[in-house]
Amino acid sequence: MTDTPGAPSPHPFETELTIDVDGTPVSAVAARPEGADATVLVAHGAGAGMEHPFMSGFTRALHTEGIATLRFNFPYREAGRKFPDRPPVAIATWRAAVAAAHESAAAAGSAGEPIWASGKSFGGRMASMAVAEGLEVAGLVFLGYPLHPPGNPSKLRDEHLYGLTVPMLFLQGTNDPFASPNLQLAEVAQRIGPNAELEWVENAGHSFEVKGAKRPQAEVGAGLAPRVAAFVRTHA
């Protein structure tokens, strides 16, 4: 992990970094408030990168909650491609990001602090697949888990979840087409066991937008931070 030379910080308390993913550099942004007792890594969804206002709004709100963050790009997004990376590449990216988070925590004198993996849709699903393949994190936070393709509720993406024992928080909109009918996700969480918690966001879609209630995406992302911070601290 290296600082990005000559690049201005995107926010006064944020630092731009470059993470090496098996020889491929990807961009990242880290922030550490004074006294932080955990780091939450945040991966973007399939259609937008780490610079999306939802992502920055969410991580900056976590900063105000006293939690360190690191958001990052997957290689496809870094290269300007539209089609998401295949799981092996995405999982390798998650491994590199977790290693970078540990390095950052150690440099701040917080070696051994809990590192959580979080992600919007695709990013969260890839985090869970990485954990299923042995990546060690304190827990998982899903910001809109893509349980199935829209309109195809019979094609579930859930098999790898049932062997996971870390704490998991599913934040999901009640109008999310990637998890309808909503009862399915509740059943998945129940099958996972007591380490999985499902919290609904009423009337919200896949990006937590609410029809008829327009809000800036940064504000939408920030609105989820208190729930995530509370869950992280509950499972410290």
Q: Looking at the predicted structure, is the pLDDT value of residue 167 above 50? A: yes
**Tokens representing residue 133 in the block:** 């393949």
First-to-last alpha carbon distance for the chain, in angstroms, is 26
pLDDT digits (tens, 9 = 90+) for 78-129: 999 999 999 999 999 999 999 999 999 999 888 889 999 999 999 999 999 9
pLDDT for the residue 31: 96
Give the span between the Cα atoms of 187 and 88, in whole angstroms: 28
pLDDT bracket for residue 68 (50, 70, 90) = very high
Q: What are phi and psi of 76, to 5 degrees?
A: -65, -40
- Selection from 120, 123, 145, 150 nearest residue 197 by Cα: 145
Q: Which CATH architecture has domain 2-234?
A: 3-Layer(aba) Sandwich (3.40)
d(CA 17, CA 26): 8
Q: Where are the domains of the chain?
A: 2-234
Phi and psi angles of residue 188, each rounded to the nearest 5 degrees, phi first: -60, -50
